[in-house]
Chain A
């Protein structure tokens, strides 16, 4: 790794001013992703400003009945937080499905949002990659694409965002709170990550020197009926092939969807808020068939690559399975049981 200077930030304003004034500077959180990148030569900052010890580690109630999560709250702590477990099970489940116990003990809320794609080509400087080295091309486009995007990609980049936590937050309409040289900004998490377009080197809308200080979860009483399902070959410590976050608000009949929040992971450059699917389900009974139709509406524009066409039926089946779990009386799957 390239030698760099290291500073430990003592307050957020100073950290922001330092990084903003220094084009080659970067914030260092827990380092679970950035340190890998330093070693692999994916990025080479000449100054790291360590924000991991800033006092941004509180989970606090907000006026609208939601929670404000400090950027330095560790993933393990957030997953175990009683209010999160009780009011936002989808978020707790998403956090627990990510990485490993050791990593979750280190990784922070802000850092989780900012982790970068695990596209194997992005992580190998011997190959072309527009995200790592703009203008060099995309090796993944015609390469190994099992873990790549089916929605929202471009000819410049087909990588996916790796976070589980962010998918749950997208479903919950969370808001990212930042501090920049010009003061505070509040960015809906669904607008926080970008689609690649012709500038895949930019993962998010953050400006240089802008620091995440918190994530706010709006009050959403019916998010108690929510669930995260991560689909992967290996049962632990693997990135999602597809993941689905769902929160359901049901009519009094316990069956008809008043409102649905659906977000998908593992299929796009950002956590994918599935508004078409939500729209398709609204007002209908939460049946398996309706879920499948809703998923198909969402993936109607999908462009699968060589290795990932299976993600289309996988999204369909997984959404149906998650809703089945959330609405237990829904008739079970299409395959007949014989035992």
Chain B
């Protein structure tokens, strides 16, 4: 294999198992999060949310709120400043009396303390003329439409050959299998530990925002447009983020509210933090999905047809089409193929990114279906997947830049002790526990997002400043970008002074799509090379250079994806149906790993979130009110330590010379893909109960066992 990638500098830092650069500051409470930045004489805003799912405000009474001690003013659509752009209906708050979902921002109280603001917000009286609403995804009842495209520019539909004919042929052949099942995933919410918070400071028509963000430049650009001011006059600062998972990838309405409220109190910064409950309607979520999966296979297990029809919801005021059929287009070879996305417009909060949008839910149905197919064929599910590995991208015919799904399956099987597994469901018992194992594949595309710029400056005494407006959500960017810079400048790690998280720094793309390290890192590689070309190895203080993430000459030639395999052991209580997970083991092939410690943390975090999707996470809609009922962490359960005993994440060495100069594929999201299917498959193996919807709560198992 010819390699076009460059050698990686001295190689001293990249690949080293280093602790997080920001670990000590975070543990010591010295890393300021958005709400904590010190500003002079702040006041506090608290959002007032709609209590009806659809309608029109008929009256606003702010009298009681305004009379409270410490209240400065109350904003509603009646008195809020007009925004320059209302094109994005999610962000166009306090402009009109219309209400589009339960929990939409309809007002805000500004007060001297957060307590006074919150209390006064509860005293704002708003009456509504309600209109009939529809807030629950029910594919048989909703009116469905075909979006123009899906998130990330994914095609809405794809079709090759004749899937219906392949299914009919398989159904008619007693040796073959035609499987046609529907799988369901729940509505879920990101729930980062750090709530969404913004401090807004206006100085004339210059706006500074301290905002918890995955993209300071992206948020800045959007807010500049909303307020109709030049981008250069909007500054965003965000050195640390307490988790985002996609919910901080795009600016949401609270950031606009912070800036709007600060306009109303000239000369004073406004601090705004959402409550956990408010986060359920204001910062995006993952749509529920209904996935009709069709598989046609011969007796040898080879697929002749694959189909995935995804039905999802979006908000009536703004479209977000989760690309759940996307992974089916890449995973397995088959001649006859069909994928579709259909949406229902509902009176619901605006869905958005949640870790591996599309790829995560879209790896649930098909990977459970593969398990069902293996069972019906009497074939080992690892073997079935290996047999259907795609030699080239199934829809485009392009070769993969590298594809190591089979290696991951084999390595995972070896490490897990899969071989010799008794395939019979519901026959292993250890005391009160029914024991089973399951497997599923993982996959995530290599996303390319152009436009990041890095700058390198020599500051003297052997030290280099490396600047890029990147974001570290807790993922490790502070650490790994410095590692990359050190090697590419051929200097020790501690000679690098990295600065990120500020629009004063060169522009960086979003920490999303698992693209951050690759895109920002490639810009740093280019900037370091430009610096050395221009200034040599003995620069003078002040010498500097900058460069942009280069285009990829191989982009059109290859399909580029990371792959993986996940193995799960579950124990199901025979009396209660309670599910506990002794072992979760993943093996991934995701290009070069920059820092094993932060990488393992990312992969284990993704797998944990996948386990959480499998067993616990579900936002419950009450369709009578359009209300997300369980909107706090007591009622919306996220998997915790006691639910799983051992989680292992491994990777195989993968040298992909085509993805980018660093050979990085991205690891932020692949860990969550496939996990839920592996868990559900293990529950089937343990109990004999085949559950086709997640989360698998104990009653679904109990009902099947009794």
A residues near B (Cβ < 8 Å) are 1-3, 39-41, 118, 120-121, 123-127, 139, 142-144, 146-147, 231-239, 241, 310, 313-314, 317-318, 320-321, 333, 335-339
Contact assessment for A321 and B576 in the assembled complex, using a CB-CB cutoff below 8 Å: yes
Distance in angstroms from B537 CB to nearest chain A CB is 54
Distance in angstroms from A71 CB to nearest chain B CB is 24
CB-nearest residue of chain A to B625: A127
B6 adjacent to chain A (CB < 8 Å): no
Given contacts A120-B635, A143-B622, A144-B622, contact A236 B432 (CB under 8 A): no
Q: Shortest 3 CB-CB distances between A and B: which pairs?
A: A337-B429, A310-B699, A235-B642
Interface centre among A123, A235, A237 (most CB of B within 10 A): A235
Distance in angstroms from B102 CB to nearest chain A CB is 8
Contact with A along B592-636 (1 / 0, CB 8 A): 000000000000000000000001100010101101011110110
B69 adjacent to chain A (CB < 8 Å): yes
Segment among B114-122, B327-335, B527-535 that sits at the interface with chain A: B114-122
Majority secondary structure of chain B interface residues (helix, strand, loop or mixed): loop
Majority secondary structure of chain A interface residues (helix, strand, loop or mixed): loop
CB-nearest residue of chain B to A317: B575
Complex CA–CA separation, A313 to B576 (angstroms): 9
Contact with A along B625-659 (1 / 0, CB 8 A): 10101111011010111110000000000000000
Which residues of chain B have C-beta atoms less than 8 A from A142's C-beta? Answer: 624
Contact assessment for B576 and A143 in the assembled complex, using a CB-CB cutoff below 8 Å: no
B428 adjacent to chain A (CB < 8 Å): yes
Complex CA–CA separation, A144 to B618 (angstroms): 12
Given contacts A126-B625, A233-B616, A234-B640, contact A1 B698 (CB under 8 A): no
Which residues of chain B have C-beta atoms less than 8 A from A336's C-beta? Answer: 429
Given contacts A238-B637, A241-B698, contact A335 B629 (CB under 8 A): no
Q: Which of B40-70 contact A (CB under 8 A)?
A: 51, 69
Given contacts A314-B702, A320-B575, contact A236 B629 (CB under 8 A): no
For the complex with contacts A335-B434, A339-B430, 20 further pairs of A-B residues with Cβ separation under 8 Å are A2-B119, A120-B620, A120-B630, A120-B635, A124-B631, A126-B51, A126-B625, A233-B578, A233-B695, A234-B615, A234-B642, A310-B698, A314-B576, A317-B575, A320-B575, A335-B705, A338-B427, A338-B428, A339-B427, A339-B435
Which of B51, B426, B579, B620 is within 8 Å of A144, CB to CB?
Answer: B620
Distance in angstroms from A2 CB to nearest chain B CB is 6
Contact assessment for A143 and B429 in the assembled complex, using a CB-CB cutoff below 8 Å: no
Which of B119, B574, B703 is within 8 Å of A333, CB to CB?
Answer: B574
18 residue pairs of the A-B complex, CB under 8 angstroms, read A1-B115, A40-B277, A123-B632, A124-B629, A127-B625, A143-B622, A143-B624, A231-B578, A233-B616, A233-B637, A234-B639, A235-B578, A236-B641, A236-B643, A239-B634, A314-B702, A317-B702, A339-B430
Number of A-B contacts (CB under 8 A): 115
Contact with A along B84-124 (1 / 0, CB 8 A): 00000000000000000010000000000001001100100
Category for how many chain B residues contact A: 35 or more
Contact assessment for B428 and A3 in the assembled complex, using a CB-CB cutoff below 8 Å: no
CB-nearest residue of chain B to A333: B574
Distance in angstroms from B349 CB to nearest chain A CB is 14
Which of A2, A121, A144, A335 is within 8 Å of B574, CB to CB?
Answer: A335
Contact with A along B306-339 (1 / 0, CB 8 A): 0000000000000000000000000000000000
Which residues of chain A have C-beta atoms less than 8 A from B578's C-beta? Answer: 231-233, 235
Interface centre among A234, A321, A337 (most CB of B within 10 A): A234
Given contacts A144-B622, A235-B580, A236-B641, contact A339 B629 (CB under 8 A): no
Complex CA–CA separation, A104 to B697 (angstroms): 26
Complex CA–CA separation, A233 to B616 (angstroms): 7
Contact assessment for B616 and A310 in the assembled complex, using a CB-CB cutoff below 8 Å: no
Distance in angstroms from A153 CB to nearest chain B CB is 18
Complex CA–CA separation, A125 to B631 (angstroms): 13
CB-nearest residue of chain A to B702: A310
CB-nearest residue of chain B to A236: B642
Distance in angstroms from A59 CB to nearest chain B CB is 28
Distance in angstroms from B484 CB to nearest chain A CB is 39
Which of A124, A313, A318, A339 is within 8 Å of B706, CB to CB?
Answer: A313
Which residues of chain B have C-beta atoms less than 8 A from A3's C-beta? Answer: 69, 115, 119
Contact assessment for A231 and B698 in the assembled complex, using a CB-CB cutoff below 8 Å: yes
Interface centre among B576, B643, B697 (most CB of A within 10 A): B576
Contact assessment for B576 and A317 in the assembled complex, using a CB-CB cutoff below 8 Å: yes
Contact assessment for A118 and B635 in the assembled complex, using a CB-CB cutoff below 8 Å: yes
Contact assessment for A236 and B640 in the assembled complex, using a CB-CB cutoff below 8 Å: yes
Which residues of chain B have C-beta atoms less than 8 A from A233's C-beta? Answer: 578-579, 615-616, 637, 695, 697-698
Which residues of chain A have C-beta atoms less than 8 A from B435's C-beta? Answer: 339
Complex CA–CA separation, A69 to B695 (angstroms): 41
Distance in angstroms from B6 CB to nearest chain A CB is 48
